[in-house]
A and B are shown apart, each in its own frame.
Chain A
Amino acid sequence: MKDLHAMNFLVVDDFSTMRRIVRGLLKEMGLNNVDEAEDGAAALTKLRHQRFDFVISDINMPNMNGFELLKAIKADPALAYLPVLMVTAEARKEDIILAAQSGAAGYIVKPFTKATLEDKLNKILAKLSQPA
């Protein structure tokens, strides 16, 4: 498994408050390589110009929502390797299923705790390190 502390994270949310909270939580976990994007379109631009290892994305955003971003990442051979963790207030079962079917690595509903975020990150990374 790649060293968690050396990984580059991209946090995507249209609310700067939530981006700060996620960044703060990651920092408390010792993860300091964190960049931010305010919507799916801005995230995609960053992802195509800079190497990231992990995306944490909201769903309900203007310009390009989290589902569209997830599908764009998985449809792009240069980006498809990226694990995408959805962190969202969308709590409908059909949204959760759609996210999983579209290739999301995990799904967290807001409001969430640091423990939940840490747990999901570790589980996703452990799964990625398993041989296919």
Chain B
Amino acid sequence: MNMHEWTAAPAASPEVFQRLGTITRQLHDTLSQLGLMPRLQNSVDGLTDARSRLSYIARKTGEAADKVLTAVELAKQEQGKITLATREIGVALAGPVSTEAVQALVAAVDDANRRVGVHLTDIMMAQDFHDLTGQVVGKVVALAIDLEDSLVKLLVQAAPQESFAEPPPSGLNGPVVDPSKRSDVVSSQGEVDDLLASLGF
């Protein structure tokens, strides 16, 4: 049945509701007979959980990235102050200079260095998202495998042979997780450059 037939069907016909009821009952009976219902139910329940887990990952990784970028920007400012102060020490030492003046510059460098250390620690600590999200990803993957397994079994048992059609090609794909298993993608900037050069770009 295609989309056109769907929209053409009489929406409020009692026959439609009767047929829907029959199909639902058949599906329920089939699932129960196959012993898949409890597993499928567990997987479906897990989907809501998976959505929140994935949102959690997005939030944690975003927070970590922001934290690191802020720390880097602040550390770079301190680094600039250190560069300036050391240059000033160099200039001062070339001529007559008071001990106090040199000590003040050295103290300024020391202070800036300490603050750089704090920012570097912040960067290190921000990496904790990797551990946390890694565990969550593992749970979502386990759920996806379970759901896929249940659905594949259901399809094999219940779907007519002719319904196994090629899935439609998707649009944009995002990052390629494992380019070694694909021939239609590039795995490095070098391959991008070679491809474009081969086409005369």
Chain B 51-78 interface mask (CB, 8 Å, partner A; 1/0): 0000000000010011001001100000
Would you call B62 and A96 a contact (CB within 8 A)?
no
Nearest CB of A to B98, in Å: 36
Q: How many residues of B contact A (CB 8 A)?
A: 23
A60 CB–B CB distance under 8 Å:
yes
Cα distance A59–B77 when bound, in Å?
Answer: 32
Would you call A17 and B201 a contact (CB within 8 A)?
no
Which A residue's beta carbon lies closest to that of B72?
A24
Cα distance A59–B192 when bound, in Å?
Answer: 15
Would you call A91 and B196 a contact (CB within 8 A)?
no
B174 CB–A CB distance under 8 Å:
yes
* Docked complex: B160-201 residues within 8 A CB-CB of A: 172-176, 179, 184-189, 192, 195-196, 199, 201
Cross-chain contact of B189 among A16, A94, A109 (Cβ < 8 A): A109
Nearest CB of A to B73, in Å: 8
Would you call A96 and B172 a contact (CB within 8 A)?
no
Cross-chain contact of B186 among A16, A65, A91 (Cβ < 8 A): A91
Cα distance A51–B62 when bound, in Å?
Answer: 31
Nearest CB of B to A115, in Å: 10
Would you call A93 and B172 a contact (CB within 8 A)?
no
Nearest CB of B to A67, in Å: 9
Would you call A107 and B175 a contact (CB within 8 A)?
no
Q: Given A17-B65, A60-B174, A96-B192, A91–B199 Cβ distance below 8 Å?
A: no
Question: Which residues from chain B sit less than 8 Å from chain A, CB to CB?
Answer: 62, 65-66, 69, 72-73, 172-176, 179, 184-189, 192, 195-196, 199, 201
